[in-house]
């Protein structure tokens, strides 16, 4: 981003299009930080090559513009707090350079990660083509960064049912796991992708009406600000329905004993966001384990004591201890992937402890 | 403000109008904080009376809505920092209640301050009527919270000249000093109003083409976020040209040795703000004391050593010491008002010291 885009993103969560053609939503700035030394090396050069870790030139930034990286302001306006301990701030902002460089990006070739998952990394255009090929007349997107349990599946399958009821003939699900940075206690991408494959293999989700693709963004955990980006990016990729739940992209406050964001604000802010007026938001119904029906079901407040909420923390505890979660929480194939992952972690931890 | 307005103000600096009629700019939330006890007292009452300091009912808030006052988030998103020492935060937010109350405001009678300055407090509608009465075909607004020196006057008179050149026949200046909270070292409103009167009496500004009115807003010192409010409020009052300078509504960072905002961001953000697309922004030329011409003049970088910048701090130092500023800095009548004010302060300080 150039500075005028960066400022609009920070202040307005949207960017004006030229010639009064309205605005596009853009709640997170997409910027590249550089240090004093890089700034000096660039000097007055108009164009800058962007290299991958192996030195190959991947893109050229044309007619560059270098401007101050006002980190405190960027953090405060993006997260609504400057408390220490925000995962993405620690990962990508705190140590970054004091300048931002923007320009016209000329991509030479699509980025490859060479991690065996590149076939899942479809560009927005590739996704649109895929939806066309499948003859989708509605696309509903589900953002996730966790293993899929049967509660998620219930929600996605129920959404499809509702879209069919609304008259759509062929609604397609875009299952779009986040593939960039996540915090240390989230399950790593390769494990999640394997788990998602099992969920499709086991028929919990229908492979005929589901497209799995990796959303390459890093997780910001920026709540109401980030959920706009999550929705906007999926609209760009052809989705017209977006499923949003309680406290999307939220987390606990890093230094206080409370949620960082009001859990209702994500949905409210998304529903009012500039540039997203045409978005169809599907409110997330809460699913929990119904101990009577012995399956994941939509929570029924009239018999709340029958329901068990299985948090990520609880799920990790089950997997680590080798204990099985209640029947019907997750398909056995998917659960095994997680158990194996947590076992490998414990083996690693044990190895570290004995070294 | 209700919560949906508050959230849009914080996240987008603008609020959607009903029925797709676009957005209005609203960069600062206008909210009323209440404490736990008041919230309990209100209970389920739909309507709440708002009383003045003397107990008189001034307005009724109808169909009220009470929602959490997330102070940290409000501060971070408004100021781009949560550093301690932001004047308006200390004055009005830190000690305020943990709830906000919004609703439909029914004003019973216009608020009177009974400080001898109420005749200066014109509503936006009254100002529009006044501009009509004077036959204005252009109104240019000047936001200020400081005494008017000849540099300001040069700028305002030069703006009028430019508007005449552009073909307007009767441009009127709205001199609109801020009348709410200001930080302790700013000159108090009654002194400033007296100073402004002298500036008009002495003919530094032309009373025929100037309307002086008090802008009742408190000063937030929130830089690029606040300047939008300053401009929007004047547009509401009938202005179509807004003069904006370097670092509008800015201040030093409360805990670091630097400006809180990039001094260019105010103008940039204002020029891109949603809901202000039709605003005519007049960039502020910098005026300084020209030691050769012995008057305030637009700064000429080719002979920068001839110019003297007289900051507010320097002006206060002159007034306190009884030393006169250079000839032509301020009209003598206006300067005397300031000298008298600073003398009275010193007398007060001396009295406090001897008690």
State the pLDDT at residue B246: 87
Token duo for residue B118: 């109420």
CB < 8 Å to B11, chain A = 13, 224-225, 269, 273
B185 lies within 8 A of chain A by CB: no
Rg of chain A, C-alpha, whole Å: 22
Whether residue A16 and residue B261 make contact (CB cut-off 8 A), yes or no, is no
- Cα B90 → chain centroid: 18
Question: Cβ B14–A272 below 8 Å, yes or no?
Answer: no
Q: Where in chain A is the domain with CATH 3.10.400.10?
A: 3-107
In angstroms, what separates the C-alpha of A28 from chain B's closest C-alpha? 12
Chain A residues touching B77 at Cβ < 8 A: 76-77, 80
Confidence class of residue B353 from pLDDT cuts 50, 70 and 90? low
Give the C-alpha separation, B38 to B276, whole Å. 37
Taking only residues 323 to 342 of chain A, the set having a beta carbon closer than 8 angstroms to any beta carbon of chain B reads none
For A70-79, write each residue's pLDDT tens digit.
999 999 999 9
SS3 B271: helix
pLDDT at A283: 76
Subunit contact A80:B81, Cβ cutoff 8 A: no
Find residue A14's DSSP bridge partners.
A25
CA A9, A97, B85, B51: dihedral to nearest 10 degrees? 10
- Gap between the Cα atoms of A14 and B13, Å rounded: 10
By Cβ distance, the residue of B13, B70, B76 closest to A262 is: B70
| A contact residues 264-303, partner B, Cβ 8 Å cutoff | 265, 268-269, 272-274, 277
Rounded to a whole number of angstroms, the distance from the CA of B100 to the nearest CA of chain A is 14
CB contact under 8 A, A273 and B70: no
User: For the stretch B287-316, what's the b/e string if a residue is b when 16 or more beta carbons lie within 10 angstroms of its beta carbon?
Assistant: bbbbeeeebbbebeeeeeeebeebeeeebb
Q: List chain A residues with CB under 8 Å of B278.
A: none
For B96-154, how does the pLDDT look when each residue is reduced to its tens digit (9 = 90+)? 999 999 999 999 988 899 999 999 999 999 999 999 999 999 999 999 999 999 999 99
Q: Which residue do the tokens 């609109």 mark?
A: B176
Q: Do A8 and B272 touch (CB under 8 A)?
A: yes
- Tens-place pLDDT, residues A34-72: 999 999 999 999 999 999 988 999 999 999 999 999 999
Least confident range from A26-30, A277-281, B198-202, B220-224: namely A277-281
Burial grade of B22 (CB within 10 A; 0-12, 13-18, 19 or more): exposed
- With residue A242 as reference, give the H or E element that holds it: strand A241-244
Gap between the Cα atoms of B102 and B30, Å rounded:
9
Cα distance between residue B299 and residue B294, in whole Å: 13
Q: Can you tell me the distance from the alpha carbon of A217 to that of B224, in angstroms, rounded to the nearest whole number? A: 29
**Chain segment A246-265, per-residue pLDDT in tens:** 899 999 999 999 999 999 99
Nearest neighbour of B272 by CB, restricted to A7, A76, A261: A7
- Residue B233 φ/ψ, nearest 5 degrees: -65, -35
Give the end-to-end CA distance of chain A in Å, rounded to a whole number: 46
Amino acid B245: pLDDT? 85
Per-residue confidence (pLDDT) for residue B277, from 0 to 100: 87
B234/A128 Cα distance (integer angstroms): 46
Q: Is B11 on the interface with A (CB under 8 A)?
A: yes
Residue B82 at interface with chain A, using a CB cutoff of 8 Å: yes
pLDDT average, residue stretch B326-349: 90
Whether A255 contacts chain B with CB within 8 A: no
Asked if A192 and A147 count as a contact pair (C-beta separation under 8 A), the reply is yes
pLDDT tens by residue, A151-177: 999 999 999 999 999 999 999 999 999
Distance CA A179, CA A173 (A): 18
Q: What is the pLDDT of residues B240-252, one digit of tens each?
A: 999 998 899 999 9
pLDDT tens digits, B269-316: 999 999 998 889 887 778 899 999 999 999 999 999 999 988 777 887
Chain B residue with the nearest C-alpha to that of A268: B4
pLDDT of residue B33: 98
Mean model confidence pLDDT for chain B = 94
Contacts of B72 in chain A (CB under 8 A): 80-81, 83
Q: Give me the pLDDT at residue A353, please.
A: 66
Helix A332-354 with A312-321: angle, nearest 10 deg? 70
**Closest Cα of chain B to A240: distance in Å?**
19
Sort out which chain B residues have CB atoms less than 8 A from A225's CB and list them.
Answer: 11
Nearest to B204 by CA among B245, B138, B154: B154
CA distance A142 to chain B (A): 24
Nearest CB partner across the interface for A81, out of B72, B272, B274:
B72
- Please write the tens of the pLDDT for every residue from A188-205: 999 999 999 999 999 999
- Contact at CB, A7 and B76, closer than 8 angstroms: no
Residue A355, pLDDT > 80, answer no
Q: Quick check: B20 contacting A, CB < 8 Å?
A: yes
> Which residues in chain B are classed under CATH 3.40.50.620?
118-219+285-344
CA distance A138 to B224: 41
The string of pLDDT tens digits covering residues A83-137 is: 999 999 999 999 999 999 999 999 998 889 999 999 999 999 999 999 999 999 9
% of chain A surpassing 70 pLDDT: 99
**Residue from B348, B245, B350, B278 nearest B25 by CA:** B278
Determine, for residues B273 and A11 on separate chains, whether the beta-carbon distance falls below 8 Å.
yes
Cβ B12–A14 below 8 Å, yes or no? yes
Please state which of the four CATH numbers 3.40.50.300, 3.30.1300.10, 3.30.365.10, 3.40.50.620 is assigned to the domain occupying A118-219+285-344. Answer: 3.40.50.620
- Give the H/E segment covering residue A8: helix A3-12
Q: Could you report the predicted ipTM of this complex, rounded to two decimals?
A: 0.93
User: Looking at beta carbons, which residues of chain B come within 8 Å of A83?
Assistant: 72
Domain A3-107 fold: Sulfate adenylyltransferase (3.10.400)
- The span from the CA of B148 to the CA of B130, in Å, is 23
Element (H, E) at B50: strand B48-51
> pLDDT digit string (tens) for B56-96?
999 999 999 999 999 999 999 999 999 999 999 999 999 99
Which positions in chain B touch A16 (Cβ < 8 Å)? Answer: 272, 274
pLDDT band at A313 (very low <50, low <70, confident <90, very high): confident
Structure tokens at B126: 């009254």
B142 CB-near residues (< 8 Å, 6+ apart)? B152, B155, B156, B173, B174, B175, B176, B243
| Cβ–Cβ contact B224 with A under 8 A | yes
Count of Cβ atoms closer than 10 Å to residue A260 Cβ? 24
Cβ within 8 Å, pair B81-A68 = no
Which structure tokens are listed for A132?
A: 């066309």
pLDDT at position B21: 78
**Interchain CB contact of B19 with A (< 8 Å):** no
Overall residue count recorded for chain A in this entry: 355
A76 → closest Cβ in B13, B23, B81: B81
Give the A:B interface size as CB pairs under 8 Å: 87
Q: What is the pLDDT of residue A347?
A: 80
Residue of A nearest to B6 (CA): A269
Q: How far is CA B213 from CA B124, B176, B202, B237, in A?
A: 10, 5, 18, 11
Q: How far apart are CA B138 and CA B134, in angstroms?
A: 11
Candidates B16, B23, B76; nearest CB to A82 = B76
- The continuous run of DSSP H or E covering A64 comes out as strand A57-68
pLDDT tier at A212, thresholds 50, 70, 90? very high
Burial B168-183 (b: 16+ CB within 10 A, else e): bebbbbbbbbbbbebe
Would you call B32 helix, strand, or coil by DSSP?
strand
* pLDDT of A320: 80
pLDDT tens digit sequence for A328-341: 999 999 999 999 99
- Joined together, the tokens standing for residue B171 give 């441009």
Mean pLDDT of B158-168: 96
Q: Residue A113 — φ and ψ, nearest 5°? A: -95, -20
């Amino acid at each position: 981003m150039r500075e005028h885009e960066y400022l609009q993103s920070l202040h307005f969560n949207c960017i004006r299009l030229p010639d009064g053609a309205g605005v596009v939503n853009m709640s997170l700035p997409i910027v590249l930080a550089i240090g004093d030394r890089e700034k000096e090396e660039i000097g007055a050069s108009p164009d800058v090559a962007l290299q991958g870790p192996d030195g190959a030139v991947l893109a050229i930034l044309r007619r560059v513009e270098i401007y101050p990286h006002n980190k405190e302001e960027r953090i405060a306006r993006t997260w609504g707090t400057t408390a220490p301990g925000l995962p993405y701030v620690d990962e990508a902002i705190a140590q970054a350079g004091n300048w931002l460089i923007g320009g016209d990006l000329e991509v030479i070739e699509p980025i490859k990660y060479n991690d065996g998952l590149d076939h899942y990394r479809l560009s927005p255009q590739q996704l649109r083509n895929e939806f066309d090929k499948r003859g989708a007349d509605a696309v509903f997107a589900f953002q996730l960064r966790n293993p899929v349990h049967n509660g998620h599946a219930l929600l996605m399958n129920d959404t499809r049912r509702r879209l069919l009821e609304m008259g759509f003939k062929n609604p397609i699900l875009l299952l779009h796991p986040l593939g960039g940075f996540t915090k240390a206690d989230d399950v790593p991408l390769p494990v999640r992708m394997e788990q998602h494959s099992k969920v499709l293999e086991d028929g919990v989700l229908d492979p005929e009406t589901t497209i799995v693709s990796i959303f390459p963004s890093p997780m910001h955990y920026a709540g109401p600000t980030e959920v706009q980006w999550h929705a906007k990016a999926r609209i760009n990729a052809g989705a017209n329905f977006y499923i949003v739940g309680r406290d999307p992209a939220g987390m606990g406050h890093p230094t206080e004993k409370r949620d960082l964001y009001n859990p209702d604000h994500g949905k409210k802010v998304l529903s009012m966001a500039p540039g997203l007026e045409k978005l169809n938001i599907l409110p997330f119904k809460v699913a929990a384990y119904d101990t009577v029906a012995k399956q994941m079901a939509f929570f029924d407040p009239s018999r709340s004591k029958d329901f068990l909420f299985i948090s990520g923390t609880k799920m990790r505890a089950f997997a680590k201890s080798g204990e099985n979660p209640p029947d019907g929480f997750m398909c056995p194939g998917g659960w095994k992937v997680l158990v194996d992952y947590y076992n490998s972690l414990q083996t690693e931890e044990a190895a570290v402890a004995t070294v």
